[in-house]
Amino acid sequence: MAVTKGEQVRRRLLTAAAELIGERGWSAVSTRILAEHAGVSASVVHYHFPSIQAVLSEAAVTAMREVLETSQQVFAVATSPADGVDALLASVDQYSGTDPMSRLFVETYLAAGRDPELRDRIAGLVTAFRTQITDWLAAHQVADPAASAAILAAAVDGLLLHRSLGPLDDQVGAVLRRVVIPCE
């Protein structure tokens, strides 16, 4: 099925919004800046989205969903809980904490604190991510897989946040592997 010109413009706006959130920060993205970055007029932004908040939210949620889906795929090849932790950590190694995608995550979490609808959408992504990890851990007989999944998901967020401040301890992986030791 062919993509219409309107769909192409909408996608361009979402891509530009995600880039700008990571480059400039959520509150620095205006309709005018977004329109310029996407190569359209400001009226086109409002034709496709009811507000700048709506386009930023949609762009951020879409980008976050794509990253989380990629991160979840690491469990398909991991053969043990320890391998799963190592693969999850390796999947986030591409993010420095100061790169645009890391900044998009941080900016979106901050914006979600002020926007209940965005918070609900992000919570849905996190819940789905945790559920997949929980199911995988349960299949590998990890004690309390739901709590372990919550810790792993929060640890990944925290590691990305802390990376922006400086290097992390080399033993992070070893500590997280202890969280997923299978029950005997």
Q: Where do the domains of the chain lie?
A: 5-179
Digit-coded pLDDT (tens) for 104-159: 999 999 999 999 999 999 999 999 999 999 999 999 999 899 999 999 999 988 98
- How far apart, in whole angstroms, are the C-alpha atoms of residue 166 and residue 169? 10
pLDDT of residue 52: 98
- How far apart, in whole angstroms, are the C-alpha atoms of residue 52 and residue 182? 47
Average confidence score pLDDT of the chain: 92
Is the separation of the CB atoms in 142 and 181 below 8 Å?
yes
The single-letter DSSP state of residue 182 is: B
Mean pLDDT across the stretch 87-99? 88
| pTM tops 0.85 | yes
Digit-coded pLDDT (tens) for 75-84: 888 999 999 9
| Contact residues for 50 (Cβ-Cβ < 8 A; gap 6+) | none
Is the separation of the CB atoms in 175 and 152 below 8 Å?
no
| pLDDT of 24 above 60 | yes
Query: Which is higher by pLDDT, 28 or 161?
Result: 28
Q: Percent of the chain having pLDDT more than 90?
A: 68
> To 5 degrees, how large is the angle CA 101–CA 71–CA 133?
130
| pLDDT of 32 above 80 | yes
Q: What CA dihedral angle connects 97, 14, 11 and 32, to 10 degrees?
A: -130
pLDDT of residue 184: 58
Q: Percent of the chain having pLDDT more than 70?
A: 97
pLDDT of residue 142: 93
Mean pLDDT across the stretch 31-41? 97
Q: Which of 17, 147, 153 is nearest to 72 (CA)?
A: 153
Q: Would you state the CATH architecture of domain 5-179? A: Orthogonal Bundle (1.10)
Neighbours of 94 (CB within 10 A): 11
